[in-house]
Amino acid sequence: MIVVVISIVVFPECFFQSDIYLKSLSNLVSFLSLLFACLAFIVGAMAYKNSILRPKLTLQIIPYLLEDNEVKLHVDENGYVLPVRPNNEWSVILKNIGEVSAQYPMVRMRFTLNGGKYFSENLFQGWEAVSHAYGSGYYEFQWSQNSSSILYPGFSIKLPTIYFSGKYIEGNFSVDFTYIADRVSATNTRIPVKVEVPDYLKHPKRINQN
């Protein structure tokens, strides 16, 4: 004890500097504790938000041949879809209008034909054939990305264009689009399609021959 008192008297600046260092260290520890507390609060708030909120997906199907609010496909007299673009193609856009990201989005389209054959496995590029009617072709196709795909809030993605050119279709049909993602319930949209021969093929102009 006597040695400590003598040391303070002889070398006071050393002890005062040590005191300042300890105070600075204490302030730094307090600052770091506050910083970690703020980070923990932010992480907790984000986790709570993600556990409460859900993504919200919308699917927009854009057929280029839309007349009188009817989706149509034009075929020739033999029932084959005419190779006239863009009338024979559909665009499909998936969008997240929710407040949190949608993970693993997936879209399926299921055809219900009134007659005739279904489709070949590789007809729709970018869509995987998943359901097959024996002897009649594939009637259900799926679009999905890799296992790490994420659709962020406010963002949209254009799916592979659906082309019908050259396909034989017998009569009107319907297509059911189902879209889903992680923590998003499946939603279904049905599109009835009217198949018809255009007027210019039904009533071609006659060429007068002299």
Measured CA to CA in angstroms, residue 75 lies from 57, 72, 112, 156 at distances of 33, 10, 18, 32
SS3 for 158-194 is ECCCEECCCCECCCCEEEEEEEEECCEEEEEEEEEEE
Q: pLDDT per residue over 112-132, tens digit each?
A: 887 667 888 888 999 999 988
Q: pLDDT per residue over 22-32, tens digit each?
A: 666 666 666 66
Cα separation, 138 vs 122, whole angstroms:
9
Q: pLDDT per residue over 31-69, tens digit each?
A: 666 766 667 667 655 555 555 677 899 999 888 777 767
**Token pair of 179 as six digits:** 């879209």
pLDDT at 93: 94
pLDDT at 79: 86
pLDDT at 154: 92
